[in-house]
C-alpha cells in the first residue's frame, strides 16, 4: 500500500584503487507517498560511516563522497557476518560496475530505484583527516571534487529543465478554453507570442520543435511509406479511396452530416471504429479511435478527427482545434498517461473536401507537425499520380494506426521518477566493436543563439562517457571523421538513418566556449591556426564546410594546456561541387555574396567566413 513505508538495507563499499571493499550496511526507510530523494540515502550512508568510524578505522572528519548504484543482478542477501559480506563483494571492481550497475543522481526520487534490494552505496574518501587536524585535500582531489560537483549540478539542471518545460506545458494546457475557442487564429497567435511558448506548431516562422519522429517510430514509418512511390497498393485500397473521394466531394447541408458519412467511410477503410466522444466538461471530439491500455487501466486515442463543413464556415484552424481536442482528452479523460508516455497521436483535420494529416506529442513542449500537405479529396483533372498519392496517404494511416494501437496496448508503467517518456526513443546502439551501448539522457542542448528546431541532447553512456545525441536531416560524416582524427572535431561514435528522412549521430561531448562566446585571453594564435588547419584539411580532401560561423567553432583546452579548436556542426559539410546550402537560410547573416538558399557550397564561401573570423582575432 502507498501508505506503508519502504525499507531496505544498503551495503556500503569503500572505493580503493580499482577494487571495492565492503564496510558495513546502512538502513533506508521512506514513505512512497512523500518526497524522498537519493540524496537522503547518500547522507544516511555518510552518517553511518561516521558513527562507526572507530571500528571501520576511518577518521570521522574525513571528507567523503557517496555514489548510489543499482546492480543489475543481486550478489546475495544483505545480511550475515562481515566476513561473509566481504566475500560476497570480492567480485566488484571498476569493470564489474561499468557493465553491471546503473547510477542515480542525488536529486532523483527514491521511488525511481527499480530493485532496492540491489542498491549499494560506494564511498570515496576524498581527503583523510589526521587525528590532530583536518588534512587539506590535494590540488588533484579538490579539482576532482569540484568537477564531480559541477557535473552533478549540470545534470540536475538539464533534467530539471525538461521537467520544468513539461510542467509549464501542462499548466498552459489547463488554462486553455474549449478547443473551438483555443483553435481560433487569434488565440493561437497569442500562445505563440508568450515569453516561453510551449506550443510549437510552426507559426510564426521559427516557433517549431524537433521532429516528432524522434519521440515515436510510427511517424517515421508513416513518412517512409509516403516517400516510397514504388509501393504497390492493393486493389481494395484503390477502390475504397475512390469511394472516400466521391463521398468527400459531396455538398453536405451541415457539419454533422459530413462528419457522420466520412467517419463511416474512414472506419471501413482503416478497419477500426471511429466515433465522436463527449468529455465530462461537455467538450467533444468529432471522432477518435480508442484503444485500451490494460497494464495502466486507461484509454488512449491514437487518432483524433476535427470536421468543418466547408471552408467559408471556418472560424478556427481545424488542425489546431484537433490538437487542442487531443490535449483536453488526455487532461480530462486519461490523465495518468501523461506520466507514462508522450501520448503520440495522428490528427485528421477535414474541411469540406480537404484533409490534413498531422502528428502531436506532449514532451517538454507540445509539438504539432503536419505530415502531409492538405489533400483535395474531390474529383480532379490532375494526373493519376494525384489520386495515387491520396491512396498512399490513406494506406499509410491504415498501416501505422495499428502500430500505434499496439504501442498503447503494450504500454507499461515506467520506473517511478523516470523522464524517459519526455525524451527520444533512441536509447541504445552497437559500437564499432559490437558492444551494446546504452544511453541515459540528461538534458537538451539548446545553444543561446539557436531556436528549438535543433534536436540536440546530452547523454551519458553505460561506460560513463558524456556524449551529444543529434537528430538531423543530413550530415557530413566524411568531414567529421577526417577532422576528428586530427583532434579538430569531436569523436564520432555512431551514425545511422532512423527513418522518416532523419539520421542520428552520437559524438563526444565537448566542453568549452565557442569563439563567439570565448574570452579574449583564450583566443590565442594557436586557436586561429587550428581553424585554418581544419579548413585547409577539408579543402585538400575535396570537402567544403559551409557553416563556418563563430558559434560552430569551439575553443578547447589541449592536453599540453594550450588552447585549440574543434568544429562542431557538419550538417552542411560535403563533397566539393555537390554539397548544398539548406532551402531555409538565415539571410540576416553576412554570408558570401554568392550564397543562395539551396545553392552549391563553394570553397570561396568557407574562405570568406574564415576571413571574418580572422578579423575577430586581429581586432582583439
- The confidence score (pLDDT) of residue 566 equals 95
- The confidence score (pLDDT) of residue 561 equals 78
- The confidence score (pLDDT) of residue 156 equals 65
- Cα dihedral angle (529, 535, 537, 541), rounded to 10 degrees? -170
Report whether pLDDT(423) > 90: yes
CB-based burial of residue 125 (10 Å sphere; 0-12 exposed, 13-18 middle, 19+ buried)?
middle
C-alpha dist (Å) from residue 448 to 250, 272, 496, 513: 51, 46, 27, 12
- The confidence score (pLDDT) of residue 127 equals 58
* Degrees to nearest 5, angle at CA 224 with 221 and 228: 145
- The confidence score (pLDDT) of residue 411 equals 94
With a CB cutoff of 8 Å and minimum separation 6, the contacts of 473 are 501, 502, 503, 571
Report whether pLDDT(481) > 90: yes
- Cα separation of the two ends of the chain: 66
Crossing angle of the two packed helices 255-270 and 384-409, in degrees rounded to 10 = 80
Domains and CATH numbers, the chain: 6-131 (3.10.20), 164-409 (no CATH), 426-618 (1.10.510.10)
Q: CA 124, CA 274: separation in Å to the nearest integer? A: 60
SS3 string, 281-338, reads CCCEEEEEEEEEECCCCEEEEEEEEEEECCHHHCCCCHHHHHHHHHHHHHHHCCHHHH
Q: Report residue 572 CA to chain centroid gap.
A: 22
Report whether pLDDT(128) > 60: no
Is the four-CA dihedral 216, 571, 480, 224 of positive or negative sign? positive
58 in helix, strand or coil? coil
19 in helix, strand or coil? strand
CB-based burial of residue 620 (10 Å sphere; 0-12 exposed, 13-18 middle, 19+ buried)?
exposed
Mean pLDDT confidence for 315-335:
90
- The confidence score (pLDDT) of residue 53 equals 82
State which of 120-134, 159-173, 215-229, 407-421 shows the largest mean pLDDT. 215-229
Mean pLDDT confidence for 129-138:
47
Confirm if 391 and 371 have CB atoms less than 8 A apart: no
Q: What is the pTM of this model?
A: 0.76
- The confidence score (pLDDT) of residue 3 equals 59
Mean pLDDT confidence for 20-27:
90
Q: For residue range 186-230, list pLDDT tens digits in order.
A: 888 888 887 778 999 888 887 888 999 999 999 999 999 999 877
State which of 422-426, 431-435, 514-518 shows the largest mean pLDDT. 422-426
Q: CA 175, CA 200: separation in Å to the nearest integer? A: 17
* pLDDT grade for 314, boundaries at 50, 70 and 90: low
Smallest CA-to-CA distance from 601 within 573, 571, 566, 569 is with 573
| Least confident residue range of 20-24, 396-400, 448-452, 473-477 | 448-452
* pLDDT grade for 353, boundaries at 50, 70 and 90: very high
Confirm if 442 and 460 have CB atoms less than 8 A apart: yes
* pLDDT grade for 134, boundaries at 50, 70 and 90: very low
Q: Which residue has the higher pLDDT, 51 or 300?
A: 300
Mean pLDDT confidence for 262-274:
93
* pLDDT grade for 107, boundaries at 50, 70 and 90: low
Q: CA 149, CA 105: separation in Å to the nearest integer? A: 11
Q: For residue range 34-46, list pLDDT tens digits in order.
A: 777 788 888 889 8
- Mean per-residue pLDDT over the chain, rounded: 86
- The confidence score (pLDDT) of residue 448 equals 41
Mean pLDDT confidence for 362-386:
91
Report whether pLDDT(409) > 60: yes
Q: For residue range 529-571, list pLDDT tens digits in order.
A: 999 999 999 999 999 999 999 889 999 888 887 888 999 999 9
Q: CA 301, CA 329: separation in Å to the nearest integer? A: 8
Report whether pLDDT(289) > 90: yes
Mean pLDDT confidence for 369-393:
90
- The confidence score (pLDDT) of residue 1 equals 43
- Cα dihedral angle (273, 374, 423, 36), rounded to 10 degrees? -60
Amino acid at each position: 500500500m502507498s501508505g506503508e513505508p519502504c525499507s531496505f538495507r544498503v551495503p556500503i563499499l569503500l572505493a580503493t584503487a580499482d577494487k571495492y571493499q565492503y564496510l558495513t550496511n546502512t538502513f533506508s526507510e521512506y514513505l512512497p507517498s512523500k518526497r524522498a530523494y537519493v540524496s537522503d540515502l547518500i547522507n544516511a550512508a555518510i552518517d553511518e560511516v561516521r558513527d562507526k568510524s572507530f571500528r571501520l578505522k576511518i577518521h570521522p572528519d574525513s571528507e567523503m563522497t557517496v555514489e548510489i548504484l543499482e546492480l543489475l543482478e543481486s550478489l546475495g542477501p544483505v545480511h550475515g557476518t562481515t566476513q561473509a559480506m566481504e566475500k560476497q563483494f570480492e567480485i566488484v571492481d571498476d569493470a564489474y560496475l561499468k557493465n553491471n550497475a546503473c547510477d542515480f543522481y542525488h536529486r532523483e526520487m527514491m521511488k525511481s530505484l527499480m530493485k532496492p534490494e540491489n542498491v549499494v552505496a560506494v564511498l570515496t574518501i576524498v581527503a583523510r583527516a589526521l587525528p590532530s587536524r583536518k588534512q587539506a585535500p590535494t590540488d588533484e582531489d579538490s579539482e576532482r571534487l569540484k568537477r564531480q560537483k559541477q557535473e552533478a549540478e549540470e545534470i540536475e539542471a538539464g533534467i530539471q529543465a525538461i521537467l520544468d518545460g513539461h510542467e509549464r506545458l501542462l499548466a498552459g494546457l489547463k488554462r486553455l478554453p474549449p478547443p473551438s475557442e483555443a483553435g481560433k487564429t487569434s488565440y493561437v497567435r497569442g500562445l505563440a507570442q508568450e515569453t516561453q511558448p510551449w506550443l510549437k506548431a510552426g507559426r510564426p516562422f521559427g516557433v517549431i520543435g524537433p521532429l516528432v519522429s524522434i519521440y515515436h517510430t510510427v511517424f517515421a514509418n508513416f513518412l517512409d511509406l509516403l516517400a516510397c512511390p514504388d509501393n504497390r497498393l492493393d486493389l481494395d485500397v484503390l477502390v475504397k479511396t475512390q469511394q472516400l473521394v466521391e463521398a468527400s466531394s459531396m455538398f453536405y447541408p451541415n457539419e454533422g452530416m459530413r462528419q457522420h458519412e466520412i467517419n463511416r467511410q474512414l472506419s471501413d477503410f482503416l478497419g477500426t471504429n471511429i466515433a465522436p466522444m463527449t468529455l465530462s466538461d461537455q467538450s467533444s471530439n468529432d471522432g477518435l479511435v480508442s484503444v485500451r491500455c490494460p497494464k495502466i487501466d486507461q484509454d488512449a486515442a491514437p487518432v483524433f478527427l476535427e470536421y468543418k463543413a466547408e471552408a467559408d464556415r471556418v472560424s478556427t484552424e481545424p488542425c489546431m482545434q484537433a490538437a487542442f481536442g487531443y490535449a483536453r482528452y488526455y487532461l480530462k479523460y486519461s490523465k495518468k498517461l501523461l506520466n507514462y508516455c508522450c501520448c503520440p497521436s495522428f490528427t485528421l483535420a477535414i474541411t469540406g473536401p480537404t484533409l490534413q494529416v498531422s502528428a502531436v506529442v506532449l514532451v517538454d513542449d507540445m509539438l504539432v507537425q503536419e505530415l502531409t500537405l492538405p489533400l483535395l479529396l474531390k474529383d480532379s483533372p490532375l494526373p493519376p499520380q494525384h489520386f495515387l498519392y491520396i491512396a498512399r496517404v490513406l494506406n499509410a494511416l491504415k498501416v501505422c494506426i495499428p502500430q500505434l494501437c499496439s504501442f498503447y496496448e503494450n504500454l507499461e508503467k515506467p520506473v517511478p521518477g523516470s523522464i524517459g517518456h519526455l525524451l527520444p526513443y533512441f536509447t541504445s546502439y552497437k559500437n564499432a566493436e559490437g558492444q551494446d551501448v546504452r544511453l541515459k539522457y540528461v538534458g537538451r542542448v539548446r545553444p543561446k543563439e539557436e531556436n528549438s528546431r535543433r534536436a540536440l541532447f546530452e547523454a551519458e553512456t553505460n561506460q560513463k562517457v558524456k556524449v551529444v545525441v543529434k537528430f538531423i536531416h543530413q550530415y557530413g560524416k566524411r568531414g567529421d571523421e577526417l577532422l576528428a582524427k586530427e583532434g579538430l572535431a569531436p569523436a564520432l561514435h555512431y551514425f545511422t538513418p532512423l527513418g522518416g528522412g532523419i539520421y542520428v549521430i552520437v559524438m563526444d561531448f565537448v566542453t568549452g566556449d565557442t569563439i563567439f562566446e570565448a574570452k579574449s585571453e583564450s583566443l590565442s594564435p594557436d586557436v586561429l591556426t587550428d581553424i585554418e588547419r581544419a579548413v585547409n584539411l577539408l579543402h585538400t580532401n575535396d570537402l567544403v564546410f559551409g557553416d563556418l560561423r563563430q558559434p560552430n567553432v569551439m575553443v578547447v583546452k589541449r592536453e599540453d594546456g594550450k588552447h585549440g579548436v574543434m568544429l562542431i556542426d557538419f550538417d552542411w559539410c560535403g563533397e566539393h561541387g555537390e554539397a548544398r546550402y539548406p532551402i531555409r537560410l538565415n539571410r540576416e547573416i553576412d554570408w558570401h555574396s554568392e550564397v543562395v538558399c539551396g545553392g552549391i557550397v563553394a570553397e570561396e564561401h568557407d574562405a570568406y567566413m574564415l576571413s571574418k573570423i580572422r578579423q575577430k582575432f586581429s581586432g582583439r
